[in-house]
Structure 1
Amino acid sequence: MLVFSSMEAQGVKPTSSVFNALILTSLSSGNMLTALSLFEIMERSEGYRPDSDTYNAFILAYAKSGNQSATEAWLTAKVASGFSADAQTYAFLILSCVKSKNFEDAQRYYEEMMSSGLIPNESVFQSMLLMYCKQRNLSRIKEILKFMLKGEYRIDRNMAKKVVDLYLELGLVGELEELLVNLTESDQSSEVLSLFHCSIIRMYADTDRLDDVEYSVGRMLKHGIAFSCSEDVEKVICSYFRTESYDRLELFLERIKDSHKLTRSIYDLLGAGYRRAGLMEKLNMLVNEMKVAGFV
């Protein structure tokens, strides 16, 4: 409001864009009363009436809070003012429904959007994927991902993690393998691909499927992707110790040494495993290696 007052004092006429910026600033700081006051000023004016972006600012603010009724009320006001519901508006509506856990309305708005010929944006896909993951609706998840990959959309890590976490929980490694192939062919980011590679390896390691672990590790490294976290490496190491596959463990460590730096927790895990197995020679070599790495 100080900016607005300063503009008036200098004889500078505000525009709808200036008011929209002030409204967005007010909304982002949680000052709804100021935002509404600015909107009322715009409504009474002749030269800077509310435009589509003005209504979208309020629609988004209420959508983020999960207030579906207020979101819909502002949409009604937008349409009544002569503005149509665009893809961005639908994205906000769907977001409000998902946040308020009104999944039936979210699905209805999504289908309404698709039937009207509007192209969903990434926000729509993110909301719908979140909803389908909460519903554990695997067929719908596949449908959304297929649509995105066909349209050459980029899948961000947060979206991918929702899907991966659900598949991990349900033990659906075959479905993860299928998704990995499709994601690789669609040229997704290395961060997203790493998430899928490591999740698959973790699932195989948890069930001691060492052949599948080693194949998956080789495939990942071949694509230039390394382990993204030490916890996944530790999962594999534990699998080797459980199956007493010590020679294969050494090959695994040799295989990843250039792409993943061993942490203190990994060294501690190896030390405990060698000691428990009575492999004192390997333990002594490990201690020397830890000294070189600065852990002893």
Structure 2
Amino acid sequence: MASSSSQNVFNTLRKVFPSYSISLTNQEIAEKIAKTLINGGLKPLETTPYLLFNLNSQITQLVLSNPRVPPHSGLIFFNFLRRNQSLASYRPDLQAHVTLIYRLYEARKFAQLKNIVNCMVTCDYFRCSVSGIVASFEDGYKNNSKFAEKLCDMLLRVYADNRMFDEALCVFHYMDQKGFEIEERSCFVLLLALKKSDRMDSFFGFFDRMVQKGVEITVYSLTVVIDGLCKRREVEKAKALMCKLAGRGIKPNAFAYNTLMNAYIERNNFEAVHEILSLMDKNHVGYNATTYTILIQWYASSGKFEEAERLFEEMCNRGIEPDIHFYTSFINWTSKFGKMKRALELFDEMTERGLVPNAYTYGALINGLCKAGQMEAAGMLVNEMQSKGIDANQVVFNTLMDGYCKKGMINDALRLQIVMEEKGFKPDVFSFSTIASGLCRLNRNNEAKTLLLTMAERGVAPNLVSFTTLIDIYCKEGNFVEAKRIIQDMEKKGEKPNIVTYNTLIDGYIKQRKMKEAYKLKDEMEDKGIMPDSSRLTSCVMFKSMLPLHVFRASRANLLLHTGPKAMAQKRRVDIVYGIRMLHGHHDLQSH
């Protein structure tokens, strides 16, 4: 509405004073606008805008560069021209932007300066290249290298913030050519932006340029590069870089060490983890909360709870407060290993410290209780969670259903599924697979099969577990044609059968004494690089050798009965040869 009103005023005044502005020069109009801004601010220009009739880039430039106009007033005038739709043809050009930036630089108003630089590089109504911007301040401010240096530094950051990486790299190159001081903080902004945008080749390339051009490298840039290398699984390269820069006086901090240590833990390289800990001790780098969290989680996940508890005590004695993330992780691992008493103690300790458990904390504890078969306690914890305004999520519902199914409480699991759907959660593949497995445990195979076959109709794609459960059902029915078809269907859908899937089918064949098919499937597994476990091999050998072993024993008894002690030496040789041939899968006794 305001823009429309201003436009109407313009049109009216043009008719009333058609030649007023023509009698004034650009200098005179600029002077009058400047006086208006100084004495009355922007309002007189909005109510009586006759001074803006013949506004042009020169007038705007004269107003913004007028030393008597305070930078704040110049900024107001600039924004008025930029935002007012009725003044679209008078919007500030590149030179106006640079002029105002210089005024703000002189006044040390760097926050406002950055905003104008951002407007300049993201402006919709004019696009200017890096070379164009550089040329504009080279022409007007070539004797003020500090301003040019500051503007370039700000440009580097703003381009990085706007993910305009090619432009940012051009600015870096220009600054290097001109011999400007390049601030590491600005380079860090660009490094971080490249990493967040997953431009990893540019990220590492830019860091190399920083090192080559002598930019001061701080521990912050070092840490972000170490993290980038670790995420690319180049952990040894990250460690080598850390040691190299440490030799140049850039000492890694706890964050850098933590990043490397976490990468080694993920790769189960425990020797390297201890090397990192030794380096921290050698360089007098103390553990922080993250260090303790990583180490305690590592020991707990490996079942080394004594060491985990020792570190936890050390952490508390050093006055390092564990946070909610730490407690949730520790509770999760103690619960997974069935140490529910300790998990509940940690939960109580956490709340006593004033930390508020979240859905993940409750979920970890509920999962542990369900695995321990303590379904009543799990239900009570769910009620407590909901009373505190934390709704049960899909994971919690699935965890409870799994617990009920493993306890044989299938009806409770089915009722919970209905509650879950009433709360707006659609059963996922885990929900269906859990219920189906529970039904199978109770020999309700037809119900399980129906559930799994209708799963796709509800828009849920089967996974490895649901496929394997269905194969197990068909094997129990003796329907091996369908069981094999399921395996083929899995492969078509990109779900590769694993050892459990194959073992399920092998077990089915063995139980039906289909040893030829079992051995054929075993060979198929090995061709695909999947080695059957020893129990299945033993089962196959036992069933396959049962008949020839029976024949052998009968022959042996007959030999002893009719030939007496004289034949014992021959018998022992037969035993030895038979044993050797049995190991190699040969059962033809007639050849002996």
Fold agreement, TM-score > 0.5: yes
Q: Distance in 1 between matches of 2:398 and 2:287?
A: 39
Q: Give the direction of change, closer, same or farther, for the CA distance of 1:176–1:54 in structure 2 (3 Å limit).
A: closer
Higher relative contact order (CA 8 A, sep 6+): 1
Q: Distance in 2 between matches of 1:151 and 1:193?
A: 20
- Cross-structure match for 1:29: 199
**2:244 is aligned with 1:74:** no
Q: What does residue range 162-181 of structure 1 map to in structure 2 within 5 Å?
A: 164=332, 166-181=333-348
- Contact 1:59 1:89 (8 Å CA) reproduced: yes
Deviation, structure 1 residue 109: 2.6
TM-score by length of 2: 0.35
Instruction: Give the letter aligned to residue 322 of structure 2.
Output: Y
Q: Give the direction of change, closer, same or farther, for the CA distance of 1:82–1:65 in structure 2 (3 Å limit).
A: same
- Cross-structure match for 1:2: 167
- Contact 1:7 1:13 (8 Å CA) reproduced: no
- Contact 2:366 2:378 (8 Å CA) reproduced: no
Q: How many residues align?
A: 253
Q: Give the direction of change, closer, same or farther, for the CA distance of 1:88–1:138 in structure 2 (3 Å limit).
A: same
Q: What does residue range 255-274 of structure 1 map to in structure 2 within 5 Å?
A: 261=423
**Structure of greater Rg:** 2
Look up the SS of the partner of 1:4 in the other structure: helix
Q: What does residue range 1-296 of structure 1 map to in structure 2 within 5 Å?
A: 1-6=166-171, 14-26=182-194, 28-31=198-201, 34-43=205-214, 48-110=215-277, 113=280, 116=284, 118-122=286-290, 124-146=291-313, 151-156=320-325, 160=328, 164=332, 166-186=333-353, 187-204=355-372, 207=373, 209=374, 212-213=377-378, 215-217=380-382, 219-220=384-385, 225-228=390-393, 229-235=396-402, 242=409, 261=423
Q: Distance in 1 between matches of 2:330 and 2:346?
A: 13
Deviation, structure 1 residue 117: 5.6
Q: Distance in 1 between matches of 2:339 and 2:191?
A: 46
Q: Distance in 2 between matches of 1:213 and 1:189?
A: 15
Percent pairwise identity: 12
Q: Give the direction of change, closer, same or farther, for the CA distance of 1:214–1:16 in structure 2 (3 Å limit).
A: closer
Deviation, structure 1 residue 42: 2.5
- Contact 1:66 1:99 (8 Å CA) reproduced: no
Q: Deviations over 1:158-213 (max 9, x none)?
A: x835862x445433322322222222223144234322342244235xx3x45544
- Contact 1:26 1:34 (8 Å CA) reproduced: no
Q: Distance in 2 between matches of 1:53 and 1:121?
A: 18
Look up the SS of the partner of 2:324 in the other structure: coil
Q: Give the direction of change, closer, same or farther, for the CA distance of 1:145–1:195 in structure 2 (3 Å limit).
A: farther
TM-score by length of 1: 0.64
Q: Give the direction of change, closer, same or farther, for the CA distance of 1:93–1:214 in structure 2 (3 Å limit).
A: closer
Instruction: Give the letter aligned to residue 194 of structure 1.
Output: Y
Instruction: Give the letter aligned to residue 29 of structure 1.
Output: R
Look up the SS of the partner of 2:213 in the other structure: helix
- Cross-structure match for 2:43: none
Q: Deviations over 1:215-250 (max 9, x none)?
A: 545554565555333224435665897399x9xx9x
